[in-house]
Each structure stands twice: as C-alpha cells, then as structure tokens.
Structure 1
C-alpha cells in the first residue's frame, strides 16, 4: 500500500513537471514578462547619485583594480601582462529587481553576476587588451519586456552612465592607443548609441580595431549606416562590427523578431530614422568572423567555454558546436549543446552564451584583427620619371 502511494506521488510530480514545462514552452515569454516588468513608477535619481568614474570603485574591471574577474582565463590560456589595446566593455543586464527600473552599482547580487559576465565574456579580450568595464545603473531586465515609457527613461539613465564612463576611459588612454569596443545585450544596445553619438564621423573611428556587440539585433539598413563602421566581411578586417544572436534547434525567433520590428523604446525606428520592420538583421559567424550564410561545422570550433555550476570557472571543449547564419539573421548552433543548461531563454535562445559558445575562436579573431591593425602601413615608393636627354 505504501509503495503504491509512493508511486502515485512520483507520478503526480512527473505530471506537474511536464505540465509546467509545456506551459513554459507555450507561454514562457508571457510568464517572464508578468514576473519581471516593474510595477513601480520611474523615479529620477538625484544628480549627485551618478557614479564617479574617476574612482576605480565605479568600475568592475579596470587595469588599476587589485581584483578583476576579466583577467581570468581557462586552462591553457593566460592574460597578457602588458596589453597594447584598451578595451571598453559594457556589461549585459545583471539586474532583475522588479521594484525599480534601474539597478544600483553597489548591490552585491548584481556585482556577483557582473563578475560572472566578466569571466565568461570579457575574458576573451585579455590577451590583447586592458579591460575597462564600468559599473552602471543598468535598466532592469523587465524594462526590455514592455513598451511602458518608464523603460525608455531607464535606458536613458543607463546610457548617461556609460557615456560618462567612456569620457573617463578616453582621457586615460594615450592619443594614439588602439581601442576595442565590446559588450553584450543591453551593453551592445548602449554601445550602438555611443557609436552614433560619440564616434561616428570623428577621428576616433581610426583608432577602433573592431566592435564586438552580440546579443542585440542590428538592422543592416536602418541601424548599421548610423554607426560609422561597416560589418566585418573578412577575417582580419579592422574598423568593423561583429554581431550575432545564438539559437539552438528547434528555435523560436519570433519574440526577438517582434521586438526588433516594433521596438519598445523607439517605435520600431532604427538609428538612421528608417523603420526596421522587415529589414535584414546583421549576423556574423563567430567561428569565422565574417558575415554570410555559409555554415561552419563543429570541427571549426576551437573551444566552447563550458561553465561549472556556479560560473566561477569553466573548461574549454573543442569541436562540439557548429554555427551558421540563417537568412533570418539568427545564428543557428544546431541541437542544444551539452553543458549549457542554465539560463536558456524560451525558444531555445542561448542569449547568455553568445560569447562562451565560441570563446576560443573569438579570442583568435581578436588577436588576428589586432595583429592586422598594428602592422605598419607600407607607403609605395615615389615613381621615378626618366627624363630623356635631348
């Protein structure tokens, strides 16, 4: 009798789990939206509350900080002791507080998540660059799930912090030092704005080795022309942009495409002022560093960075994950990869893993572009004109 009751309990638990998984597959985005969008009004902070980026404590990564998770490397790799490039890295969303629209830069839980992102994303740059990553008052995760006007205000506040941090970052660099801009998700969105407002059409363009901004869709026609740089089309091209969004099969791209088309913060208007509706999304294959729909097999993957349970470390597994850019502009990674189980979004969206899935290839890509940038420009010798004697 007791054994039968136990089996019934197990059966009920299994049914509940299956029902929950089915509901999540059908209504995952709606459930997340209900749980995460803030209900509180937006409250503008006092002017004196802005981070002071002159101080190292306003950064989560900076060359003069004693501890810095961005300097971590998996086995077989080391960070450069004297990097020759300055990297300005804008972190993705690490705030999930629905009681307010912007996070605090001193919240311990947010800081812990930012360190995880530094370890699994920004670390790809530490062989070539000194990494600067500002702690900024991020728009909370729920701000990206609604068209409430408070969401746009939250992003404006986050951008103001990033803009201020970039000013301090630039002032700390020699005038001729090459720069890499990089970020993910919210960080990529804010860097797009920074490119348009602060860099496009200025001498700073000539100092950019490359811009790595995955995790936020970029319209080839309605966004890219306003950024002042082209998409990367060859593996060692410099002064160009790389972007991708990773999905496993079976994939549901509709939420990303809907958000891209309608735009919660800009009514679907791209940075050029044109509508994004129906336009092509930029997709770079991170295994090759170029745009286009040619697939790359898993054998081309030098090493995906598989995290441990608490994301404090990880191991590289080569030749396990391929990639191809689909005509939709989404990066298809094939079947769900082993080891990347936590934080997968509805629709098999591997958003959180846009960098770790291709860690070793991206590191090689960065080093290749820096090498090309640092090669001396060879000027052709002046043509000698032979003058005939009369």
Structure 2
C-alpha cells in the first residue's frame, strides 16, 4: 500500500512539473494542444438514482475511520501557540492572546456537517482523438490523487461531526484552458454528479445540524453552483453556516452579489463566504485572469478587470493583512509527500486591493507544485492549514447565536 501511495505521489509530482514547464515555455496554442481534448464531447447518462448510497462512491464519509483522508491529522496539530493580538495589522498590542485567532475551546464547538468537493485530479495529456472530457469515477490514479488532495485540503474541517467528499466525473484539466462548448458540457456533467451527491448528503445528515460547503479549484466552482441552484431561496439556506469556495476566483462586482451571501467582514461572522487565491510576490496572474475576465459573471455580465474576492485566512476579514507570526501553522509536506507537519509563523499574507489576490511576501519551499507566475494554487489551503481549522470552528461557534 505504501509503495502504491509513493508511486502515485511520483506521478503527481511529474505531472505538476511537466504542466508548469509547458505553461512556462509553450505558447498558449501549444499548451491547449497538449491538454485540451480534440474530440467531441460524448454525453453520458446520469448515474443511477441511488448511486451515492454506495459507500464506494465517496472518498470521505462517516464510518471510514483512519482510512478517511479528510481526517488526516498532521504532527503538532494540537496545542499550537496563538500569535499576539498585535500580529494583525491595525490592532494595538495587547498582553493577552487575540480572541480572533485563538482556536475555539472544545466545549464551545458546535456540531456540523461538511460537504467538500475535491479539485481536479484527472490530469493527463490529451492523447488521441478520443481523449475524454470527463474522468471516470473509478479511475485508480485520479482517485489516489484526489485522496491525497483531501488529506491536505479537507483535513482542516476535521472538527466536523461528518465530512462527505464525493467521487464525481470531473472535467479534465484541459477543460479550463479553452472556451470550446465541450468544456462547458464537461463541467455540466461533473456538476450533475456533485449535485446528486449533495442531495444524498442532505437526505442523510442530521437535519438539525448546520452545513458547511467547501471545495478547492474545480470543486469550489461546483460548490458555488450548488449555492446558487440548490440552496439560495430554499429552506436549506437557513442551514448553511459557511461557504469556503477556496482557489476559485469570485468577482466582487459580477459574482458575489448573485451568491446572496456576503464576504466575511469579521472573524466571528457566520453565513458568509471565505475564499482566496494565493500568489507569492512578485506575482504574475495574467494566465489566470486572461480567461476569467473575459467570461460572464454569475450576473451574466462580463467580469472585466475588477478585483476578485479575498478573505485573508490569517485575519478572517476581507482584504486583511497580517505578518508571519499570525500564521498558526502551515502544513509542510515531507519530501515524499507521504506525511506532513505544521510549522508556525512560516509566512504572512496580504490581500492586494487592486487584483484581490492573496499575496505572500516571497516564495516559500513547500514542494514542486508552484505554478508559473509564483502561483501557489496547489498550496492555497496548506499554507494556512491551522488558521482555516480555527476559522471554521470559530464561525460555527457563532452560528447558533447569530441564527
């Protein structure tokens, strides 16, 4: 089992490095040729109506015990020191720790259920005319990769009573490099599976518990669509305590108003949205913004050049700034990615008011996954692992009184 895991990790590292090199030295057209499927989109039937009653259709679910990747607990995850109040810009020094950044005491935690959608793990060159637009749910390599992602990205939510992370026929990596109509169809197919899994999740969890929606990258996009199409304006809206669509750009002007929930303005606020997209300075996000700004927002209007939403995970506030000693713990993977440990105070971050990017002062060494332009997309959550863990528990503790 360990050998298979390390083999999968080697594949991930190779693909990340190969993709980064391709995006750096190839033209846009050559990159699309390498990763965008050339064939027509092939429609697929819906999954069986009871498909998600099968435990094998979930990467994470109750009852998995130590095999649940979302329950991964890195070393030093407990008892982390809390930075002083002065760590957050604009606050006066104080002798006592800041309640904003202090992990919530166990006795005050509120039970909750998490629905987490993993990012794209079906990553392969588009070889041949029949290269698929969607990955199969039973592909062993992409499933292993998804579980690895969940260890680093869903584990900050492990304070939940239940964490559910579905398998789904995800759109391939190349679908995000083109405006061909097949790409939209691939994303629709992926969302259809996610929506079906969400329906099962809602029918299964305790109806009195609050719900947290979370995801990263492609998973965040599907989470935002769930919010718009299955939650806002329905009785479920009252149960949604928090939304974390991390690593997917959300236009402040043309996406956020349509989501009907505000950006989180204070660290204790619930029923709001927390998201960020991380770059190191000097940042070059032109490859990210080129396609995003030209596409219509959730309001149907072109997104244009306005900023994206940035809620700083170190401050819990929109457009916040904090130095490194506000960082409760970065999840730093071991050399073979088989484990990781939390390192406090590794990096600070600030929300850039012009672009909305979350900027760290300089590159940090977490592994080979950094993309061109100092894009730390792969590490959006691991960079701020312990702060996110404290954030969700703090906001859930505030949910019941606010409700």
Is TM > 0.5 for Structure 1 vs Structure 2? yes
Q: Which of 117, 136, 141 is matched with 2:168 structurally?
A: 136
Q: Which of 298, 308, 327 is matched with 1:271 structurally?
A: 298
**TM-score for the superposition, normalised by structure 1:** 0.84
Alpha-carbon separation, structure 2, partners of 1:247 and 1:68: 30
- Whether 2:330 is the aligned partner of 1:319: answer no
Q: Which residue is 2:223 aligned to?
A: 191
State the Cα distance separating 1:370 from its structure 2 match.
1.2
Q: Which residue is 2:84 aligned to?
A: none
Alpha-carbon separation, structure 2, partners of 1:357 and 1:29: 29
Q: Which residue is 1:337 aligned to?
A: 364
Q: Which residue is 1:298 aligned to?
A: 324
Q: Which residue is 1:148 aligned to?
A: 180
Alpha-carbon separation, structure 2, partners of 1:51 and 1:183: 23
Alpha-carbon separation, structure 2, partners of 1:47 and 1:376: 39
Alpha-carbon separation, structure 1, partners of 2:142 and 2:49: 17
How do residues 84-99 of structure 1 correspond to structure 2 at under 5 angstroms? Answer: 84-97=111-124, 98=126, 99=131
State the Cα distance separating 1:22 from its structure 2 match.
9.2
Identify the structure with bigger relative contact order (alpha carbons < 8 Å, sequence gap 6+).
2
> Residues 88, 28 of structure 1: CA spacing in aligned structure 2 closer, same or farther, 3 A cutoff?
farther
State the Cα distance separating 1:253 from its structure 2 match.
1.1
Contact 2:241 2:272 in 1 (8 A): yes
Q: Which residue is 2:311 aligned to?
A: 284
Q: Which of 98, 108, 118 is matched with 2:150 structurally?
A: 118
Alpha-carbon separation, structure 2, partners of 1:372 and 1:320: 28
Alpha-carbon separation, structure 1, partners of 2:176 and 2:350: 27
CA offsets 1:359-379 (integer angstroms, 9 cap, x no match): 0111111111111114487xx
Gaps of 5+ in 1: 1-20, 263-267, 378-390
Contact 1:28 1:346 in 2 (8 A): no
Q: Which residue is 1:244 aligned to?
A: 276
CA offsets 1:177-236 (integer angstroms, 9 cap, x no match): 111000000011111111110111222222122111111110112111111211100001
State the Cα distance separating 1:40 from its structure 2 match.
2.5
| Secondary structure class of the residue paired with 1:53 | helix
State the Cα distance separating 1:277 from its structure 2 match.
1.1
Alpha-carbon separation, structure 2, partners of 1:55 and 1:353: 31
State the Cα distance separating 1:83 from its structure 2 match.
7.9
> Residues 44, 22 of structure 1: CA spacing in aligned structure 2 closer, same or farther, 3 A cutoff?
closer
Alpha-carbon separation, structure 1, partners of 2:341 and 2:382: 10
Contact 2:76 2:342 in 1 (8 A): no
CA RMSD of aligned residues (A): 2.3
Alpha-carbon separation, structure 1, partners of 2:21 and 2:51: 47
Contact 2:70 2:154 in 1 (8 A): yes
| Secondary structure class of the residue paired with 1:109 | helix
Q: Which of 375, 381, 403 is matched with 1:349 structurally?
A: 375
State the Cα distance separating 1:32 from its structure 2 match.
3.9
Q: Which residue is 1:9 aligned to?
A: none
How do residues 38-187 of structure 1 correspond to structure 2 at under 5 angstroms? Answer: 38-47=37-46, 52-66=51-65, 67-77=67-77, 84-97=111-124, 98=126, 99-187=131-219
Alpha-carbon separation, structure 1, partners of 2:25 and 2:311: 29
| Secondary structure class of the residue paired with 1:269 | coil
Contact 1:199 1:228 in 2 (8 A): no
| Secondary structure class of the residue paired with 1:258 | helix
Alpha-carbon separation, structure 2, partners of 1:354 and 1:29: 25
**TM-score for the superposition, normalised by structure 2:** 0.82
State the Cα distance separating 1:27 from its structure 2 match.
3.9
Contact 2:110 2:397 in 1 (8 A): no
CA offsets 1:294-352 (integer angstroms, 9 cap, x no match): 421111111100112332210111111110011211110121112x2312111111101
